[in-house]
Amino acid sequence: MKKKSFLLTAVLLLALSMFLAACGGSEESSGEKGDGEKKGSDKPKFMSIVTGGTGGTYYPLGGAFAEIISDATGIQTNAEVSGASAENMNTLKDGAAEIAFSQTDIASYAKDGKLMFEGAAVDNVSAIGTLYPETIQIVTTAKSGIKSVEDLKGKKVSVGAPGSGTNPNAEQILEVHGMTFDDINKQDLSFDESTAGIQDGTIDAAFVTAGTPTGAVEGLSATEDIVIIPIAQDKIDALIEKYPYYIQDEVPSGTYKLKDAVPTVAVQAMLVVSNDLSEDVVYDVTKAIFENLDKVTHAKGKLIKAENAIKGVGIEIHPGAQKYYDEKGIKAE
């Protein structure tokens, strides 16, 4: 009887010790993970870059960046297909990715909880830097007789697909000209629908926010004498002062058979990062990208330069990225 009691006690003690050890291990593991998530102090084994659709620019660039980061940092990084800017910001908010492509204006709306992010601000992200311009092109034809933004009054004008980034671009450009959507016959059309509408005469002009040359506009230029409506310098200055994510830009001569360059503005494609990543990790990522651009084969890679990366960012720069720019003596103008 005593022997059985002794064995039973021994078994219970062994079980208790195993249970306590398991709890201690779980707490230690959980604690370490929690600290890493809270402070971003640990180097992750894996990272995701959310990009855009496979037919766009973000996805192939993201693939190139993912390979560069993997090779340079040892962190296995993958590019993921996504719905682009607005979706990407929410993906970072949810902690489902570490790095994302976005337009500068969309990132700013997300941080400030404005427009499509009203009541749902994304407050856990910072910028790595801007990449290349996405130009706002106000497209019409010579036969329309439209030569200025003010000439759009009373005309049928496409301001982009519903929920697109082009819509607020159009609204803000009209704003600095003392106009609103009430001053135009607003149409909510995609780029392809817009150029088709201009061609068949159902609309007069369209706002297009995209890298130049834009395929839909190029297609239109094959059959029509394209006009890109210029934005005057004082209006450009006023727009940039109020909305710092814009930069001055132009549509180069020769584009769409234009005889002269046309002054306008652009938002920019940018990289945004989760604040959960440490300063050291983001520094390494920033350095890897900007010092290996020769490995990027996409045409837009030629436009990406570290010295331009903090122009028109519109949101805070992550300390790790800022450390890299400081080392290189790169300053915002």
For 43-83, write each residue's pLDDT tens digit: 999 999 998 877 678 888 999 999 999 999 999 999 999 88
Looking at residue 32, its pLDDT comes to 36
pLDDT surpassing 90 at residue 89: yes
| 83, 84, 190 from 164: Cα distances, Å | 11, 11, 9
Q: Mean pLDDT throughout 96-122?
A: 94
Please name the amino acid found at residue 89: M
Q: Mean pLDDT throughout 148-172?
A: 90
Confidence of residue 244 (pLDDT cuts 50, 70, 90): confident
Looking at residue 38, its pLDDT comes to 37
Q: Mean pLDDT throughout 298-302?
A: 87
List of domains in the chain: 46-132+268-328 (3.40.190.10), 134-267 (3.40.190.10)
Burial class (CB in 10 A: 0-12, 13-18, 19+), 227: buried
pLDDT surpassing 90 at residue 25: no
pLDDT surpassing 60 at residue 33: no
Cα–Cα distance, 55 to 50 (Å, whole number): 14
Q: What percent of the chain has pLDDT over 70?
A: 87
Cα–Cα distance, 104 to 313 (Å, whole number): 6
Least confident of 32-36, 73-77, 79-83, 203-207: 32-36
310 and 332 Cβ atoms separated by less than 8 Å: yes
The residue that leads in pLDDT, 33 or 54, is: 54
The residue that leads in pLDDT, 99 or 57, is: 99
Looking at residue 279, its pLDDT comes to 97
Looking at residue 216, its pLDDT comes to 86
Question: Tokens 């496409």 belong to which residue?
Answer: 158
Mean pLDDT of the chain: 87
Looking at residue 55, its pLDDT comes to 64
Rg (CA), the chain: 26
196 and 217 Cβ atoms separated by less than 8 Å: no
pLDDT surpassing 50 at residue 333: yes
pLDDT surpassing 80 at residue 142: yes
Closest CA to 89 of 61, 68, 112, 64: 112
Question: Tokens 């390979």 belong to which residue?
Answer: 67
The residue that leads in pLDDT, 146 or 311, is: 146
Looking at residue 163, its pLDDT comes to 64
Looking at residue 41, its pLDDT comes to 47
Question: What's the gap between Cα 59 and its chain centre?
Answer: 12
